[in-house]
């Protein structure tokens, strides 16, 4: 049973961002599965790597689209992203140094809360700005897709 279920409440109304959010949910669910199954550290480490790589990719896309629509609270949102990036990076580093130091349930609770609270609490705030500048957002999304590809660890896992 998945730790996080996608619901329409998570939708920000931009297909690419919703898809990114679904992938992040899937990665957290994969981490939950690996921890529950008592999988070797290599499997857990791989999921943590993919989660960090995809978080960076998603944040870059989201930031590009927020800039395209002139989102007024961009700087605050960027600071939140930077904090979250650092937290996920710290989890991965701690795990690589000492897998036993990472308490799986605590990490999963943090990741679940982080993602769901961020989507519903912060990302939903840009929805009206993006809808108000839909054409600019679509153009920025196409430009982003032409420059950046999803991390290979995710592409291979899906």
CA angle at 50 for the pair 100 and 89, rounded to the nearest 5°: 60
pLDDT in tens, 40-71: 677 778 888 888 899 999 999 999 999 999 99
CB-based contact 113:105 (threshold 8 Å): no
Residue from 78, 49, 50, 84 nearest 65 by CA: 78
Its CATH class, for the domain covering 12-157, is mainly alpha
Residue 24: is its pLDDT beyond 70? yes
pTM of the predicted protein model: 0.89
Mean of per-residue pLDDT scores for the chain: 89
What are the sequence ranges of the domains in the chain?
A: 12-157
Tokens coding 13:
């109304």
- % the chain with pLDDT above 90: 61
């Amino acid at each position: 049973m998945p730790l996080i279920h996608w619901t329409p409440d998570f939708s920000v109304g931009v297909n690419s961002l919703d898809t990114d959010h679904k992938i992040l949910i899937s990665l957290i669910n994969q981490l939950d599965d690996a921890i529950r199954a008592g999988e070797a550290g290599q499997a857990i480490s791989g999921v943590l790597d993919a989660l960090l790589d995809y978080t960076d990719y998603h944040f870059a896309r989201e930031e590009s689209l927020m800039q395209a629509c002139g989102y007024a609270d961009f700087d605050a949102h960027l600071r939140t992203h930077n904090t979250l990036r650092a937290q996920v990076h710290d989890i991965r580093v701690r795990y690589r140094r000492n897998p036993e130091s990472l308490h799986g349930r605590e990490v999963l609770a943090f990741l679940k809360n982080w993602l769901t609270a961020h989507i519903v609490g912060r990302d939903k705030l840009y929805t009206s700005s993006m809808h108000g500048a839909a054409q600019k957002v679509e153009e920025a999304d196409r430009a982003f897709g032409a420059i950046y590809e999803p991390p290979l660890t995710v592409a291979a896992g899906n």
